Amino acid sequence: MARQYDKQHATTLIATAALLANRFVGFSGAYANQAARAYDANDCCGVSETAAASGETVSVITGYSALVESGEAIAAGLPVTVGASGVAMVGTGAAYVGRSLTAATAAGQLIEVRLSDAVHPLS
């Protein structure tokens, strides 16, 4: 089944760690880490379009939507946050990086996520 998304903007980052495609990436060039709850280089910049080795360039989708690998079952319409290794997890109204436009019934599935600026409470 073909998957769709609406890439309206992307930026190029230098990967500072090995990255898989369709994962949330931080401004640092490694997987995003929302658990730190600090607005810093680990905050979510966007979603990797391809895999990249450390030191390679990677295109990161920053606007409107992207396909992201799920880390758990996620219903359409829910807020989404970053899980381990940059996968999508169910977020909350106070902590999210986007909203799911499609659903995943289990981990490892691609979902379309409407991207937004990272929102999380400061620790």
pLDDT score, position 40: 80
Rounded Cα distance, 118 and 42, in Å: 11
Banded pLDDT at 122 (limits 50, 70, 90): low
E strand or H helix at 90, and its extent?
strand 88-90
Angle (CA) 99-52-89 rounded to 5° is 25
For the cut 60, the answer to whether the pLDDT of residue 123 exceeds it is no
Banded pLDDT at 1 (limits 50, 70, 90): very low
User: pLDDT tens, 4-30?
Assistant: 888 999 999 999 999 999 999 999 999
The domain spans of the chain are: 9-119
User: pLDDT tens, 46-103?
Assistant: 999 999 999 999 999 999 999 999 999 999 999 999 999 999 999 998 889 999 999 9
CA dihedral for 67, 72, 75, 80, sign (positive or negative): negative
E strand or H helix at 48, and its extent?
strand 44-48
Angle (CA) 60-63-65 rounded to 5° is 95
